[in-house]
Amino acid sequence: MTFRPARALRALLAAALAFGSAPLSLAAQAADNLAPARASSATRAPSSLRERIEAVLARPSLSRADWGIEVRDAESGRVLYARNADRLFIPASNLKLVVTTTAAHHLDPGYRFRTTLYGTGPVRGGVLEGDLVLYGRGDPLIGDRYGPRTAVWEELADSLRARGVTRVAGQVVADDSYFEATHVRPDWEAYDLRWWYAAPVGALGFNDNSVEVHIQPGAVGERALVSWEPKSEYVEVENRTITVGPRGRSTFDLERAGPRRIRAVGQMPSGAGADVEFFAVENGAEYAGVTFRETLDRKGIAVGRPSVRVVSSAAASPAAHATVLAEHWSDPLPRVIAPILLNSQNWIAETLLKTVGREVRGEGSWEAGIAVERDFLTRVVGIDSADVELRDGSGLSAGNLVTPRALVQLLSYVHRTPRMRIVRDNLPVSGREGSLKTRFSDLPGRVSAKTGYIGNVDSLSGFVTMDDGRVAVFSIIANKSGQPSSRMKAAIDDVVRAVATSSGG
């Protein structure tokens, strides 16, 4: 996915898209450490872990940032370094460690999401004499994440055909009632709600509840070339762009022009490369229902009424008194946890949070999911309740607060608990996989950690193998830096390098 810098500054998942952070060049270090560079050549090089970390944090460009850091030996639990470790910080996507560990604790590794087709009437002579209900239970993998975009819809349609159904007398009902009817958090910023990282979260969704919009320059003075996927009647893109000369400024943007209408606006320089944006739909259940009905048409199953009815209330759900006609079972839990940690996928994290609430407390809501998280953190892991303040599952809300000490406690629990292997095995790995693939090229395979970013927040929490072979657990969070994220990531990475070159002291 490609994002303009202005938009990337607002995307929580920029960790998956971040610039690689190699060690600072000698010139950059000299500029950032002007006073040390002018010191006497007899100045002693930092030797202890504390001195090495403090040397990084003493760089002039980092002076305004609030730093929270804790480093522990994974086996002994001994604290190797701490700075403001008991203070609350905005964690950004490091919060995803909470929802994934909570899910790993409560859900079996073989847990699968189920999507069911119900018929509200009998099937006679190939005709379903009633409505066809598409009932979701929070499967976040329906779309092109692991195969063709409409593969699940095609599977369900083929199952209908196998039962002899060739026509639906009624209409498709998109039943979203397994979760609450609230689909976005009130403290998510309005602009963010346009984009895939803040897509609405319901029990029935499709393709990350977003539309893939492709844009490239046209001839100067003409419209830019705009196309979108999936091709569906659900969405229409209005093109009001203009292509300008190669020296022109790019102002291209996407706006919501209606419930099912996207407007492309602004100008695109003729020399610009192709771009892709992922625009969030307003109603995930309707999106799913329309694309499913279109799949039925392609499979030769006629639907009497083309409109799709959305049901969000359990009391209004027709599923309770309907007949099961077909079902799809998702891939197991590891396939859901993987994109949350490796690529920092918000929508899946929020869906998993509501799933945990539904499975443990019987309510698919943010409030129930957060209550389960708090209970797990305090009663199972032993984290002080004052060390966490939770608002969502992904870390998109700036109202989330956590101490570095709490994250290190949680990761220490992951390290010693066999059931948590599902989390440890799906963390990004330095130089190899996920959002750390282009970071720590000098420490390949030695760092496995969750990245995090929102405006003025950068974080990294996980594990690093030290030079002596021991493993350290760490959490590093920077708030209020006022610096480009690339600079903050470089500093965080240098702190991790200081730990890696330590011998445990």
Is 92 within a domain?
yes
Residue labelled with tokens 């200081």:
498
Phi and psi at residue 197, to the nearest 5°: -75, -5
Phi and psi at residue 96, to the nearest 5°: -65, -20
Instruction: Among 216, 248, 280, give the residue marking a domain's end.
Output: 280
Instruction: Among 299, 330, 361, give the residue marking a domain's end.
Output: 330
- Sign of the C-alpha dihedral computed for residues 414, 418, 419 and 423 taken in this order: positive
User: Domain holding 296: CATH number?
Assistant: 3.50.80.20
Which is nearest to 59 in space by CA: 497, 481, 502? 481
Dihedral (C-alpha) 349, 355, 359, 361: value to the nearest 10 degrees? 90
Is 19 within a domain?
no
107 contacts 356 by C-beta, under 8 angstroms: yes
Residue type, 342: L
122 and 261 share a domain?
A: no
Is 441 within a domain?
yes
Tens digits of per-residue pLDDT, 65-77? 999 999 999 999 9
Which is nearest to 115 in space by CA: 331, 361, 372? 331
195 and 296 share a domain?
A: no
234 and 288 share a domain?
A: no
User: Domain holding 456: CATH number?
Assistant: 3.40.710.10
395 and 457 share a domain?
A: yes
360 and 462 share a domain?
A: yes
Cβ contacts of residue 125 below 8 Å, gap of 6+?
A: none
What is the extent of the structural domain holding 404? Answer: 66-108+335-500
389 and 493 share a domain?
A: yes
Is 6 within a domain?
no
Is 32 within a domain?
no
Digit-by-digit pLDDT tens for the chain (505 residues) are 333 334 444 444 433 333 333 334 333 333 344 333 333 334 455 579 999 999 999 999 998 999 999 999 999 999 999 999 999 999 999 999 999 999 999 999 999 999 999 999 999 999 999 999 999 999 999 998 778 999 999 999 999 999 999 999 999 999 999 999 999 999 999 999 999 999 999 999 999 999 999 999 999 999 999 999 999 999 999 999 999 999 999 999 999 999 999 999 999 999 999 999 999 999 999 999 999 999 999 999 999 999 999 999 999 999 999 999 999 999 999 999 999 999 999 999 999 999 999 999 999 999 999 999 999 999 999 999 999 999 999 999 999 999 999 999 999 999 999 999 999 999 999 999 999 999 999 999 999 999 999 989 999 999 999 999 999 999 999 999 999 999 999 999 999 999 999 865 5
Is 155 within a domain?
yes
Is 207 within a domain?
yes
Instruction: Among 330, 364, 397, give the residue marking a domain's end.
Output: 330
What is the Cα–Cα distance from 236 to 1, expressed in whole angstroms? 21
Structure token digits, residue 55? 């040397």
201 and 272 share a domain?
A: yes
Is 51 within a domain?
no
Q: Where are the alpha helices (DSSP H) in 343-426?
A: 346-361, 366-375, 404-416, 421-424
Residue labelled with tokens 């993998």:
141
359 and 468 share a domain?
A: yes
Domain count for the chain = 3
95 and 160 share a domain?
A: no
Tens digits of per-residue pLDDT, 317-345? 999 999 999 999 999 999 999 999 999 99
150 and 266 share a domain?
A: no
381 and 424 share a domain?
A: yes
Which is nearest to 79 in space by CA: 381, 384, 409? 409
424 and 295 share a domain?
A: no
